[in-house]
């Protein structure tokens, strides 16, 4: 079981958190730490790229929800990049498709942040 | 054939005990996927089962205090897979909030997902004897 977390600066003060592997009760603290660190540094517009994520459970969703709540307090937002049908299904079931902006590619997610 | 009509001889049982720690949940997930793969479940249904079993184990880990292990019993029948997840801890039950909510929270998402992905779910919690989830997924009849 593994999780890869890469953080990089995008345009317009946005940051991209690229995740890969499996996000579950064991690995989600690492994702939470990366997102929390960005927010603590004052970065409130985030793209979280889930394209290389094979699996996510409720603890992973909880980390994303927590991040979204925190950035919204500062007028920011979190957009997701997700193409995996199984993961998209989980966002559908939980109703999180209505809460997050979900995009098929990183460019679209970044563009929506800027608009 | 319904669950009640399935004779004991037709049910094959696999038992697994894992430590009640986050790093072992993936083992339960993979084991149940392997069991489900023995039955004619679709790839999507197996993914649903993997998520449901992981959520059940995570519920045990987060809800119970003092449980050292989680027992996972899988009954593979000709028409369904029933999985019982149980620990022997104690603690305080956290009721999932009603859904949908205007403001999303992570509380109760695990149980909500299990209910959405499985055909039947029983969730029992006793502060003295621990957490138990019994869930069943039927094979599609075609």
Q: Does A51 touch chain B (CB under 8 A)?
A: no
Q: How far, in Å, CA of A30 to CA of B105, rounded?
A: 20
Enter the ipTM: 0.89
A97 touches chain B (CB under 8 A): no
Q: Are B108 and B77 in contact (CB under 8 A)?
A: no
A106's CB contacts (< 8 A; 6+ apart) are A16, A47, A49, A51, A81
**pLDDT band for position B106 (cuts 50, 70, 90):** low
Interchain proximity B22–A65, CB inside 8 Å = no
All residues of chain A having their beta carbon less than 8 Å from the beta carbon of residue B26 are 1, 22, 24, 26
The answer to whether the beta carbons of residues A3 and A55 sit under 8 Å apart is no
Number of independent structural domains in chain B: 1
Q: pLDDT by residue (tens digit) across B81-99?
A: 999 999 988 766 555 545 5
Q: Kindly state the average pLDDT of the residues B45-50.
A: 96
**pLDDT at residue B101 above 80?**
no
CATH code, B101? 3.30.565.10
What is the residue extent of each domain of chain A? 3-114
pTM to 2 decimal places: 0.88
Does residue A109 have a cis peptide bond before it, meaning omega lies within 30 degrees of 0? no
pLDDT of residue B36: 97
Assigned domain for B93 exists: yes
Q: Which tens digit of pLDDT belongs to each residue from A13-61?
A: 799 999 999 999 999 999 999 999 999 999 999 999 999 999 999 999 9
* Domain A3-114, classified CATH 3.30.750.24, yes or no: yes
Binary contact (B113, A58; C-beta < 8 A): yes
Range of the domain at B88: 15-138
């Amino acid at each position: 079981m593994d999780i890869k977390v890469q953080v990089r600066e995008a345009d317009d003060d946005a940051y991209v958190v690229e995740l890969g592997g499996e996000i579950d009760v064991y690995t989600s603290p690492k994702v939470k730490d990366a997102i929390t660190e960005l927010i603590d540094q004052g970065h409130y517009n985030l793209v979280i790229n889930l394209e290389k994520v094979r699996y996510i459970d409720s603890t992973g969703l909880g980390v994303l929800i927590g991040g979204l709540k925190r950035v919204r307090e500062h007028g920011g937002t979190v957009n997701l990049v997700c193409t995996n049908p199984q993961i998209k299904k989980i966002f559908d079931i939980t109703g999180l498709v209505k809460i997050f902006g979900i995009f098929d590619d990183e460019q679209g997610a970044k563009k929506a942040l800027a608009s | 054939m319904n669950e009640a009509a399935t004779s004991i001889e037709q049910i094959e049982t696999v038992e697994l005990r894992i430590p009640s720690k986050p790093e072992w949940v993936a083992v339960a997930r993979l084991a149940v996927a392997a069991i489900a793969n023995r039955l004619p479940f679709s790839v999507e249904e197996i993914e649903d089962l993997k998520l449901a079993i992981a959520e059940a184990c995570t519920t045990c880990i987060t809800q119970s205090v003092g449980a050292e292990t989680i027992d996972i019993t899988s009954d593979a029948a000709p028409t369904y897979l029933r999985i019982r997840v149980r620990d022997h801890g104690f603690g305080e039950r956290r009721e999932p909030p009603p859904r949908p909510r205007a403001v999303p929270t992570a509380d109760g998402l695990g149980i909500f997902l299990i209910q959405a992905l499985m055909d039947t779910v029983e969730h029992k919690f006793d502060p003295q004897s621990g957490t138990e989830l019994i869930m069943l997924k039927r094979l599609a009849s075609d």
